[in-house]
Structure 1
Amino acid sequence: MKVTLLGTGTPILNINRFGISVLVEAGTQKLLFDAGRGAAMRLHQQQIPLRDLSAIFISLLNSDHITGLPDIYATAPLPTDDGRLRKPLLLFGPDGIDNVARGTELLFKDQNRMRMLEGEVVEPATHIIAKRVEPGVVYEKDGVKVIAFLIEHGHVKPDYGYRVEYGGHSVVVTDDTTYSANLVAHAKDADLLVQSVAIGSRALEKAAPDYVNHFYGYLASPEKAARILVEARPKLAVFAHISLYSRPGIPRARVDELRERVQSVYDGKFVIGEDLMSFDIDEHGVRQAEYSPEIRQKEPV
């Protein structure tokens, strides 16, 4: 298995951290978990043709999880040197996912009509097959199994995490969530856990506790994220969907503070993710692949 962080950001614009999106390659399957801003571009950087995506799984319908979907839908059917999509896009997600699919088709209805007249797009590729997710096995093909499970994101419900199993190995992708026993149960002993995290600096937490604690009810603080890792004990954890909270005149948290606060609770291995990081999983364990992205951050976290 191979896991690539295509985007590790939030709804806030950041050229170094695109919208949340994780690619899991397992056997013959290429599975995309969430399709945040820039997902198509990051796939292109990884030399993954859009037509090769086996399925897309959406965790919740917040904008930053789906804004990259129209780009994938509109671009995948176009003729390129490495081929094009010739069948419907397969999309999984919570209640309301059919609205996303039909809305995307409607958005591009006229451009599809024009492109089909020119032979640039084949008709089957103008459709999206949307499947509403319920807890349990939602996808199974060629030895790859995807299990959906409910996670905790404040009043935003339902919100799903996904566990991918293949060849005796497992990857868990959680995205937006704070601590929950259900998350821990499904992440138990995973080879790799992709976990969201939020942080306000100590100074901000002291100056505006109500402001920060409101967000900690939706996304795990460093300490809550560390608690998840303590109880789940993955072989390796990587933080993505990293949310930073700040206010004018108050220093914001830096990557060192995030690392130190997690380490104060959790003694296992974890990585603070960046766009285009990837991880290989096989019989030898989990290891981070060589990382030399074309775009590097200008600031910590």
Structure 2
Amino acid sequence: MLPENSELPVVQFLNVTKKIGSKTIIDNLTLDIPRGRVFGFLGPNGSGKTTTIRMLVGLMSITSGDILIEGQNIRTHFEEAIAKVGAIVENPEMYKYMSGYQNLMQYARMSPGVDKQRISDVVQFVGLGHRIYDKVSTYSLGMRQRLGVAQALLHRPRLLVLDEPTNGLDPQGIRELRDYLRALSREEGTTVFVSSHLLSEMELMCDTVAVINGGRLVDVRHLDASAATADTTGAKMMVRFETDQPALAAQLGGGGQISGSSWTVAADRQDIARLNALLVNNGIAVYSITPIRETLEDQFLAMTREGERHE
């Protein structure tokens, strides 16, 4: 048994390949999922996200390579590995003629150690206390999604796996789900592995994203650190100076782009201070200085285009 404070990743994909006939669906995927984070698995439709998740939870065989959950190989120790996982692959399946509470009780009977107090705790956590005794047939899609998350959390999994969980949800349902998942990671230390093709939602929901395209891992980005990168390191970003003399600003600053009254140039923290002083000392009025950060959409499109060029 691994110690709970082990630094071992919750999930390790080790050279995982999946072939169906002559077609390679997943190509030599190696990826670590660190514990206690909301980890996004991002890619366009048909990129291999659901295939990867199906292999992770044992719904599809692996052609070659290994997947370890808390150090347990799902090929050789499947029951021990999957006991640490809660998952919703595609849509949560419920008995619609039963109440939400009855559905959770039914699942609890199959999960040792789940008592009524645990059921009550997860119901309150996902915000279904006011409707838990109503029939599932009366639930909205967002409520059914929350009930599915509650069911997946009953046995206190180390890893929660969600495949495209925001599909079909309205904006309020998406925001609620996002808040629950982030709270789950913070408050219970559960690792959340969530797949999606919705860039804006992944940017708001996740600490880290892995990008997959054509069955290949393209890149891994740490979103929680990205906003502070230019402030804590020497990395440069694009900065827009709004001035009364943008052409002169570009001449003094050594280049950049001019658009209307703005001058945009690559700069780090020290550069910004130096350039601001340079402009002011030369009689140029500086009205604003705005860092221009790449969105996840910008990064994703750049990464997938780069991956396509290498195919």
Given the two structures, how large is their TM-score scaled by the length of structure 1? 0.32
TM-score normalised by L of structure 2: 0.31
Q: Which has the larger radius of gyration?
A: 2
Q: Quick one: higher RCO (CA 8 Å, sep 6+), 1 or 2?
A: 2
Higher helix share: 2
